[in-house]
Structure 1
């Protein structure tokens, strides 16, 4: 697993990074999964091992991510085992980042419009401090199931079916797949 503490830019802010080395989508989450012993994210069994070690909670996370990044929505089950592969033509390259504490330079996320930054849930969003950009645009089903965004930065509900149902996935997918 590539750890961002190997990255000199923000070592204290991020505890875990796994996924593509050049992602087009980065999912920011508040807490790290249990990492199985000898786990390699590029292994064909990586997702299954992660789900086995962490249970239904991480299964739901991986299902929602699969549905968001797969190029053909009907292929999300086929895509899921390969989410962390470095080169897969069936889905958009992605990474998962576990954010520790405060991320004071959140405005920097919007500087690269080629990467969609998906900040998942209120707990994670509370760690980001936006000074210059305002997440003023909305996609929503209702007050509780809404996505705020600006450019390529998205503040979404946590990756759980009750908060992030298929109807909300259907609203966000076209925005993530614009540059496929």
Structure 2
């Protein structure tokens, strides 16, 4: 199924099929008025990390680690670099990466094969209150799924909240979307 262009604000590939949604953008002047999907340039992740601190470093690291946890039969991310760190620095959220980090409400279309991940239970509830049309089935206190819309909710992209064990669980949920 064809991915539709993203009509939202965020970072990454405007045609990405792998989309993560977080509540806040980096507190930097150059992103304050962002109203489209902006591909990141090489080293731009490092600039954001330097300006915004450890919280953003964790978001980018966890995103990249998740991509490397995915089934290689479904996703080619881990074949593009030797490590999740190299993938983060050379491909994540860049043109052609098929990844996006969005600061807006998910544009769900069950006719596509897009994967939508909302980082954080509170953010998911806020999006639902803002009009997100999804039927979330809560699997436990931290994870929810709407298989019809290929939408998942997981803990926020932080090492303590989304540790390696939970990353593996999320990767399995993503794999199960196609079964």
Contact 1:119/1:125 (CA < 8 Å) preserved in 2?
A: yes
1:127 aligns with: 126
Contact 2:93/2:101 (CA < 8 Å) preserved in 1?
A: no
Q: What is the TM-score when the length of structure 1 is the normalising length? A: 0.70
Correspondence list, 1:148-163, <5 A? 148-151=144-147, 152-163=150-161
Query: Which structure shows the bigger proportion of residues in strand conformation?
Result: 1
Question: Offset at 1:127?
Answer: 2.2
1:115 aligns with: 114
Question: Offset at 1:134?
Answer: 2.3
Deviations 1:64-88 (A, max 9, x none): 1001123339721110112122124
- The partner residue of 1:19 within 7, 12, 16 is 12
- The unaligned stretches of length 5 or more in structure 2 are 1-5, 32-37, 69-76
Q: Does the alignment pair 1:96 with 2:101?
A: yes
Q: How many matched pairs?
A: 151
Q: CA RMSD in A?
A: 3.0
Contact 1:29/1:119 (CA < 8 Å) preserved in 2?
A: yes
Contact 2:118/2:153 (CA < 8 Å) preserved in 1?
A: yes
- The unaligned stretches of length 5 or more in structure 1 are 1-6
Deviations 1:4-47 (A, max 9, x none): xxx8x6xxxx5x31101111111111111033759x74321111
Q: Does the alignment pair 1:86 with 2:95?
A: yes
Provide the rounded CA distance (Å) in 2 between the counterparts of 1:124 and 1:84.
21
